[in-house]
Structure 1
Amino acid sequence: MKKIEAIIKPFKIEEIKNALDAIGVKGMTINEVRGYGRQRGHKEIYRGTEYNVEFIPKVKIDLVVEDAMLERTLETITEVARTGKVGDGKLFVLPIENAVRVRTGESGPSAL
C-alpha cells in the first residue's frame, strides 16, 4: 500500500474527487493548507495598498491506495490538476506498512 499526499490548487478539488471516484479510489482526506514552493508567494493590491502574500492557499489530499492502483491514481491526479501554470502542486508517495479498519478490525488492503 502507498500513501499519496497531493498539494493542489483549491479550485481543482471537485474535479480531482470526481476523477478519483471514477477510477475506484474509495476515500480521501482533505485539508486546507497554505504554503509556497518556487513561486515564493505573490503581490496583491487591496484598497490601493500593495502587500505580499507569502503563503498561497492550497488543498492537501491524503489517500492510501493498493500498489496496483498507484500509477493510475498518480496519472489521474496529475492530469486533472495540471493547468500549466506555476503552482499546480506536488505529489508525494510514501510506503504504508499496514491499515486497520476500526469498526471491523480488518487489516491490510481490505481495510481500505
Structure 2
Amino acid sequence: MKRITAIIRREKLEDVKDALELVGIHGMTVTDVRGRGQQMGIRESYRGMDYCVDLIPKVQIEVVVDSGDLEKVIETVTENARTGDIGDGKIFITDVLDVVRIRTGERGKKAI
C-alpha cells in the first residue's frame, strides 16, 4: 500500500477530487496548508506598497491506495492539478505498512 500526498493549488481541489472519484478513489483527507518552493513566494502590491508573501496557501490531499493503483492516481492528480505555471505543487509517495479500520478491525487492503 502507498500513501500519496499531493500539495496543489486551492483552486484545483474540486477538479482533482472529482477526477479521483471517476477513477474509483473515494477516501481522502484534505488539509489547508501554507508553504513555498522554488518560487520563494510571490511579490504583490497593496495601496502602492510592495510586499512579499513567502508562504503561499495550498491544499494537501492524502490518499492511501493499493500499490496497483499508484500510477493511476499519480496521473489523475497530475493531469487535473497542472496549470503549467510555477507553483502547481508536488506529489510525495510513501510506503504504508498496514491500515486498520477502527470500526470493524479489518486490516490491509480491506481497510482502505
Instruction: Give the SS at the match of 1:43.
Output: strand
Aligned to 1:108: 108
Aligned to 2:17: 17
Equivalenced residue count is: 112
Where in structure 1 do 4 or more consecutive aligned residues deviate above 4 Å? Answer: none
Aligned to 2:31: 31
Instruction: Quote the Cα distance in structure 1 between the aligned partners of 2:67 and 2:24.
Output: 13
Structure 1 runs not aligned, ≥5 long = none
State yes or no: 1:92 paired with 2:84: no
What's the % identity of the aligned pairs? 51
Deviation readout 1:30-55 (Å, 9 max, x if unpaired): 11101000000011111221111010
Instruction: Give the SS at the match of 2:30.
Output: strand
Instruction: Give the SS at the match of 1:110.
Output: helix
Q: Which amino acid aligns with 2:63?
A: L
TM-score, scaled relative to structure 1: 0.98
- After superposition, the CA RMSD in angstroms is 0.6
Structure 2 runs not aligned, ≥5 long = none
Instruction: Quote the Cα distance in structure 2 between the aligned partners of 1:110 and 1:68.
Output: 14
